[in-house]
Chain A
């Protein structure tokens, strides 16, 4: 809260200057637009007349403008279906319809083969899902994973972004290199890292990555950090570059230390980036699937199984499909609520520039 007040205080006097400049612009507007006005302005005697003419011109312009835009609007209305249609149709086919079917199936249980033959049974599948220990284990494992990875990714990505915006030599090269892991698919990453981890573990222990849930957990964390820091770093760099120079200068003149500038000026100003990044990392961690599948596949047993993998494993057997679908619906609600809650709380802390 302190930061909010601080940064708002200098903004108030600025508001007045803005208002003034708006008036200036309005006065200048017609003269820029019309050479006739320029000429008449050289004659101070007929100020009144000029003013009237300006009004007329303005009106004309308005009429023309609104006529033009209504025309555009009309043709936009006429053709909008063409542009929206395909996306809308694929959205229905690829998302909305399957989603509704999913909700329907979550209320079916027993052996589910085809959708046509599924039988509605009410909340049985949800009861089963809530009685499933592995689901709860997966939930807590995922929650812990999300907390650790959100904190680590954001802190490290911000640190990298901060370091690379300090006019370091070769910072563009570093940015590219840091971003590159993000271009590799999760499955490939998972297999690559499982080899790296096993190679390293071989040097010091006789255990392998898939033998120990603790190794599995940290393996997943390291993998995700390696993959996502670069991406989040790019977002933070964009945020950092948008911090107004004059504010930084003012802070410098006021004698703020680097630390103070960072925490009192820079961070409040990059709050929008922080919002986006925490949102992305949080939902990414909750939805993590391919990395999990390729690195540990839930091993040992189902101890490193995250929510998404737990759900998809339930589809292997027709008798547990209803339950898996119920889990998927619970999962959707969970991720949606988390995401929205997180968005609201961080939005509150954002600073208007």
Chain B
């Protein structure tokens, strides 16, 4: 009896193990789509769209979302499997270097023909179209116009650094009387420091690029730091005219978004993805560029760019590749699907996609129409980005604690020398 029981249990176990291993043998000539998504916030939307697409066409669509901050490692692991993702994200030059071998050349594919701009596409050295943008974003300074007016100013008057400074310092000075302050907290913990070591730093890189007359196509071995004084101007303005004292920033724990939404602060450094959250409470919120005292900045626009770029796996079957491209085309042309996507993602640069409802992105488009220059995302080229930003955060923390020239020299070291150091660390 016991023997029988043991045998049964053993068989059960083997079956269970086998079941874990070999699921999904029902592929057919229709192909299937496996999208490894890197934005946790749109997972639910994508799951619903996937289900809808399967219902309509019978093609199996699987959407897997990597946990926040683990996209690169998840992709590495998934790519090694027997059923790798057919659709994944290559969002920057680093990604192109890593994954270009796995990417199908998208030139002249059905999805590439739907694009209305080439601005957000990524090519590798050989000119292969590795990935194509499916939406773009922008960042800058989010402003609450109602509060600015309460303080006796107008958003329209803010045209450059000096006018911004006047408004900000006036509000900060009268914060007690007004009941709100100028900037929301600029915490330096990991949940917030990227706004300053990544986004705000972009103004330095961008103006360096602009002065040199050409946009970067790959990570430069070193930077000059010529515009670091401009970064300092805006940075000083932000930390010294804020709800939180500069010395308290390193520990973090302040909710800048809530401060802005609750009307405790009039300015908030962030990006277009905040629109949905912010517009609940501040429906008329607008975004203005990083004014930092550069000549001619009255013509500056917002920082526009994207890391949301689709790549199709070249190592899966042709049926899967076709199914994947068909699915992509459906996402950007189907009225309902593209509307859902646009609501979540902002703007989709495709001819037949739904129009954007995102106020900040519409601000970006307005600046563009008015003939302002777009500040592209040069920050995406930061070499060995995590380490680079880590050093920058610690230098900025020291500076926040004690705003001396010596401490700023250390920021400069992390910002400029750190670039060359990290570039060296990751070059073979």
Q: Which residues of A contact B (CB under 8 A)?
A: 79, 82, 86, 109-111, 113-117, 194-195, 198, 202, 206-211, 297-303, 313, 315-320
- Which residues of B have CB within 8 Å of A115? 80
A58 to B199, CA, bound (A): 88
A295 to B367, CA, bound (A): 43
Tell me which of B97-105, B112-120, B159-167 binds A.
Answer: B97-105
Q: Nearest residue in B to A298 (C-beta to C-beta)?
A: B390
Q: Nearest residue in A to B402 (C-beta to C-beta)?
A: A206
Tell me which of B144-152, B274-282, B420-428 binds A.
Answer: B420-428
Of the A-B pairs whose beta carbons lie under 8 Å apart in the complex, a sample of 29, sorted by A's number, is A82-B6, A82-B10, A109-B428, A113-B98, A113-B99, A113-B101, A113-B102, A114-B79, A115-B80, A116-B80, A206-B247, A206-B401, A208-B248, A208-B397, A210-B189, A211-B250, A211-B394, A298-B390, A299-B393, A299-B397, A300-B398, A301-B395, A302-B387, A302-B391, A303-B394, A316-B72, A317-B386, A318-B76, A318-B98
- Which residues of B have CB within 8 Å of A300? 394, 397-398
Known: A297-B190, A319-B427. A210 touches B387 (CB 8 A): no
A87 to chain B, nearest CB (A): 12
A209 to B253, CA, bound (A): 13
- Which residues of A have CB within 8 Å of B211? none
A110 to B73, CA, bound (A): 17
Query: When A and B form their complex, which 7 residue pairs have the shortest distance between CB atoms, in order from nearest?
Result: A300-B394, A319-B426, A301-B394, A208-B251, A206-B247, A114-B80, A208-B250
Contact status A299-B97, CB under 8 Å: no
Q: Residue among B80, B98, B253 with the most chain A CB within 10 A?
A: B98
Contact status A111-B98, CB under 8 Å: yes
- Which residues of A have CB within 8 Å of B398? 211, 300
Known: A115-B80, A208-B250. A317 touches B426 (CB 8 A): yes
Q: Nearest residue in B to A83 (C-beta to C-beta)?
A: B6
Contact status A207-B401, CB under 8 Å: yes
- Which residues of A have CB within 8 Å of B13? 86
- Which residues of B have CB within 8 Å of A319? 384, 425-428
Q: Nearest residue in B to A128 (C-beta to C-beta)?
A: B425
Interface positions, chain B 388-410, Cβ under 8 Å from A, are 390-391, 393-395, 397-398, 401
- Which residues of A have CB within 8 Å of B253? 195, 198
- Which residues of A have CB within 8 Å of B80? 114-116
A114 to B73, CA, bound (A): 10
- Which residues of A have CB within 8 Å of B397? 208, 210-211, 299-300
A208 to B250, CA, bound (A): 7
A300 to B427, CA, bound (A): 25
Contact status B250-A320, CB under 8 Å: no
Q: Mark B74-102, 1 if CB is under 8 A from A, else 0.
A: 00100110000000000000100111011
Contact of B73 among A111, A116, A198, A315 (CB under 8 A): A315
B349 to chain A, nearest CB (A): 28
A88 to chain B, nearest CB (A): 13
- Which residues of B have CB within 8 Å of A194? 251
- Which residues of B have CB within 8 Å of A303? 394
A318 to B384, CA, bound (A): 9
A319 to B80, CA, bound (A): 18
A195 to B80, CA, bound (A): 40
A86 to B395, CA, bound (A): 51
Contact status A79-B390, CB under 8 Å: no
A208 to B400, CA, bound (A): 11
Contact status B97-A111, CB under 8 Å: yes
Known: A111-B98, A208-B250. A320 touches B384 (CB 8 A): yes
Q: Mark B267-296, 1 if CB is under 8 A from A, else 0.
A: 000000000000000000000000000000
A302 to chain B, nearest CB (A): 6
Contact of A113 among B79, B247, B250, B385 (CB under 8 A): B79
A109 to B427, CA, bound (A): 11
Known contacts A117-B101, A206-B247, A313-B387; 19 additional CB pairs below 8 A are: A82-B10, A86-B13, A111-B428, A113-B99, A113-B102, A114-B76, A114-B79, A210-B250, A211-B250, A211-B394, A300-B394, A302-B387, A313-B386, A316-B386, A317-B386, A317-B387, A319-B427, A319-B428, A320-B426
